[in-house]
Amino acid sequence: MTNRVVHFEVVGPDGTALKQFYAGVFGWQIDSGNPMDYGIVAVPEPGPGIGGGISASADGASSYATFYVAVDDPQATLDAAVAAGGSVVMGVTEIPDVVTLAQFRDPAGNLIGLIRASPPS
């Protein structure tokens, strides 16, 4: 597999309640000690699995769950998604010293995230 799923995200109107729900149901350790109050779900150790995030939605109303795929060139992947019938939700966006990401919807409306796998050359 060339591009791997590397992160998941669960978002809803009440981020605090979602964090409590998932911590209680699955025993996840969730750290929200950052300026965005973004709940970082620790990568499970040992064994398979990926880390993720849980937060309030930016608009305070929408809810979604998505996964993020590591790609070398997020813009090229967005272009390929659009050519195949998808639509861009978030263009390539850099959060300095954290992540470069983008999002698109597939033809069925599912939200898919992209994370730059390596620094641009």
How do residues 75-93 score in pLDDT, each as one tens digit? 999 999 999 999 999 999 9
Q: Which residues of the chain have pLDDT under 50?
A: none
Q: What are the distances in angstroms from CA 41 to CA 45, 52, 64, 84?
A: 12, 5, 16, 32
Q: What is the pLDDT of residue 46?
A: 79
Look at the chain and count its residues.
121
Q: Return the ∠ at Cα 112 (arms to 107 and 115), rounded to 5°.
A: 140
**Domains in the chain, ordered, with CATH?**
9-62 (no CATH), 72-121 (3.10.180.10)
CA distance 32 to 80: 34
**Residue 28: its pLDDT value, please?**
92
pTM above 0.85, yes or no: no
